[in-house]
Structure 1
Amino acid sequence: MNSGDPAQNDDPVDSSANPSDVPTSKTSPLKPAAKGPKILVVDDDFEIIEAVRYALEGAGYEVVIARDGNQGLALAERENPDLMILDMMMPKRSGFLVLEKLRRLRDVPLPVIMITGNEGSRHKAYAELLGVSDYIRKPFAMDRLIDAVGKLLDA
């Protein structure tokens, strides 16, 4: 007969343990809050990157950054973004070359907003021929970019 003394308890389970302290297979760590659509920003200008990142994250989007065209292509394949914001003039691979390669790699076209400081209408026409979804000239109001992103992702 058990006298109630834990030292004399024949049960191998520690009866003094609080059941809520014992880990179970049903216990899981907290999941991070769900983020919005993923946007890949490809630009070599640090100030543009930071301003665009701040605005997009403030609007609830997840942002991935690439600082040149080659890195942009690699991240487009690895991260599978919902949309790309692409500068036209960059080192290593221009925005046009990135677009050409993207169109060959993907079965489903990735929506792309091209941003550029170039004023030439010939460049805009070529970007449209390559399938850009929107073409925004620098400098631009951040609201203009956020509106374009929202329209493309809601479509």
Structure 2
Amino acid sequence: MSEKEAKKAEQQTILLVDDDTEIVETMRFALEGQGYRVLVARDGNQGLALAERDDPDLIVLDMMMPKRSGFLVLEKLRQTLKVPIKVIMVTGNEGNRHKAYAEMLGVDDYIRKPFAMDRLIGAVKKVLE
């Protein structure tokens, strides 16, 4: 990563919303290694609260979570935020109808688990360009 890319990344905040501790810690490590500021929410309600409070540049949002699914979080954010937020949805779900619904809600990328961290980092860089 160039010095210019690192400086730009340091100014950007990514909110990770996922209930799988191992995946969250792996994503956090990879993204912080790229210079991003990373916030973590362990369920949909906490993710919604952090998104509204901290105004992240990007949300990496799991589809299936306790308390409020990624879809419900995204629907609520689309209704309440004045500025559209960039979202990468991650899921272990193989169904194409879920992907279609995520795209209808305006996700910027859709990544199926398991995925390589290079895939996530590439998607984050592309979305935040």
Compute the TM-score of the two structures, normalised by the length of structure 1: 0.77
RMSD: 1.3
Q: What is the CA-CA distance between 1:107 and the residue it aligns to?
A: 1.8
Q: Return the match for 1:136 from 94, 111, 118.
A: 111
Aligned equivalent of 1:117: 92
Determine which structure has greater relative contact order: mean sequence separation of CA pairs < 8 Å that are 6+ residues apart, divided by chain length: 2
Matched, 1:51 2:44: no
1:8 paired residue number: none
Any residues of structure 2 matched to 1:67-146 within 5 Å, and which?
67-146=42-121
Q: Which runs of 4+ in 1 moved over 6 A?
A: none
TM-score under structure 2 normalisation?
A: 0.92
Instruction: Kindly indicate whether residue 38 of structure 2 is the aligned counterpart of residue 63 of structure 1.
Output: yes
3-state SS of paired residue (1:152): helix
Following superposition, the deviation at residue 36 of structure 1 comes to: 3.0
Q: Equivalents in 1 of 2:96, 2:22: separation in Å?
A: 25
Unaligned runs of at least 5 residues, structure 2: 1-6
SS of the counterpart of 2:124? helix
Q: Any gaps of 5 or more consecutive residues in structure 1? A: 1-32
Distance in 2 separating the partners of 1:125 and 1:110: 19
The 2-side partners of 1:141 and 1:67 are apart by: 21
Q: Percent of aligned positions with the same letter in both sequences? A: 72
Q: What is the aligned partner in structure 1 of residue 17 from structure 2?
A: 42
Q: Distance in 2 between matches of 1:112 and 1:106?
A: 13
Give the Cα separation in 1 of the matches to 2:122 and 2:47.
Answer: 23
Report the residue type matching 1:69 in the other structure.
Answer: G
